[in-house]
Structure 1
Amino acid sequence: MAPIPTPPAEPQDSPERYVGLEAGRAERLARERGWSTVRSLPPGAVITMEYRVGRLNFEVGDGKVARAWKG
């Protein structure tokens, strides 16, 4: 029987710490802290809701992160 794969670990980081930051700066910090994928979205964007380990989502309005969440 094949072993069950172990998903990659997520960074020990809180998405809330990015709220209020300029979008480019927030993305650089997230990548430095180990997030493999950083997705910036406009307010109200229609997105898929599948959970991806290692992905950090930003809702960006007026050039700043208004909301951030994992997956």
Structure 2
Amino acid sequence: MWHALPLPRASGGAYRGGMASLPTPPREPQDSPEDYVGQEAAAAERLARERGWSTVRSLAPGTVITMEYRVGRLNFEVADGRVRRCWKG
């Protein structure tokens, strides 16, 4: 004959129900990625950080990267020391 075993209670008191609220992601700067195209890479990176981008990554053309979207990240494709392409995420 089977008998149900009582489940242990989690420490920390009684469950109050509900869910935690979702965190609000930080806002991205409202400048346009096209503003950086043609600029010298180091100057473009400085400007992007001054405008509030938390992450700026410079990539060579054809670099294999993951494409997940990251709030606050600006991507530069750099060739010959200049930004050739720029996109968010």
Fold match by TM threshold 0.5: yes
Residue 64 of structure 1 aligns to which amino acid in structure 2? R
1:2 aligned residue: 20
Structure 2 residue ranges without an equivalent (≥5): 1-18
Q: Which whole-Å deviations, capped at 9, do the CAs of 1:7-41 have from their partners, x for residues lacking one? A: 11000110000000000000000000000000000
Identity %: 82
> Root-mean-square deviation (CA), in Å?
0.4
State the SS of the aligned residue for 1:29: helix
Work out which of the residue numbers 49, 55, 72 in structure 2 matches 1:37: 55
Greater strand fraction, Structure 1 or Structure 2: 1
Q: Normalised by the size of structure 1, how large is the TM-score?
A: 0.98
**Mapping 1:52-67, distance limit 5 Å:** 52-67=70-85
TM-score of the two chains, using structure 2 as the length reference: 0.79
The number of residues matched between the two structures is: 71
